[in-house]
Amino acid sequence: MFSPNPKPPKKEKRPRVFIKRTPLKKTYKKTGEQELFEKLIQERPNVSFITGATIPNISFYNCHHVLTKAAHGKFRLTPDNIIFLSNEEHQKIHTTAKSDLINSDVRWMAYFILYDTLKIKYSQL
């Protein structure tokens, strides 16, 4: 299959332009959480809800919503819904199954009892 016509010259491609992937500066509206956390840190003893151990250098990361903010928005700023956890406990509560937490330490039962109690309160609103 010989073709006497030579191939047409290739067109030059445009140079690739990469999208800038830096995060956009976003302004967040105030929810009142920061003020509530600061108030609770000042008022409550700085101890873990699970173990009762003192939490040195307590910060907002140690504050945990028992009922999630997304599913239970009305309890977002309720002090009863916020507990203090150590960094390790806070990591575990978000990444470990309920049964594994209870099997590893029975003191986690207090957390799940509080969860059920708050869930009942929330359903009665």
- 53 close to 47: Cβ distance less than 8 angstroms: yes
- 50 close to 111: Cβ distance less than 8 angstroms: yes
- Residue 29 is predicted with a pLDDT of 83
The residue-averaged pLDDT of 21-29 equals: 73
- Residue 2 is predicted with a pLDDT of 65
The predicted-structure confidence for 30-72, as pLDDT tens digits, reads as follows 889 999 999 999 999 999 999 999 999 999 999 999 999 999 9
Backbone angles phi, psi at 33, to 5 degrees: -65, -45
Domain chopping of the chain, boundaries: 33-123
- Residue 1 is predicted with a pLDDT of 60
Each residue of 26-56: b (16+ CB within 10 Å) or e? eeeeeeeeeebbeeebeeeeeebbbeeeebe
The predicted-structure confidence for 88-113, as pLDDT tens digits, reads as follows 999 999 999 999 999 999 999 999 99
- Residue 10 is predicted with a pLDDT of 82
- Residue 101 is predicted with a pLDDT of 96
- Residue 7 is predicted with a pLDDT of 79
Residue 24 has pLDDT above 80, yes or no: no
- Residue 11 is predicted with a pLDDT of 82
CA–CA gap between residue 64 and residue 86 (Å, rounded): 10
- Residue 109 is predicted with a pLDDT of 96
More confident residue, 17 or 61: 61
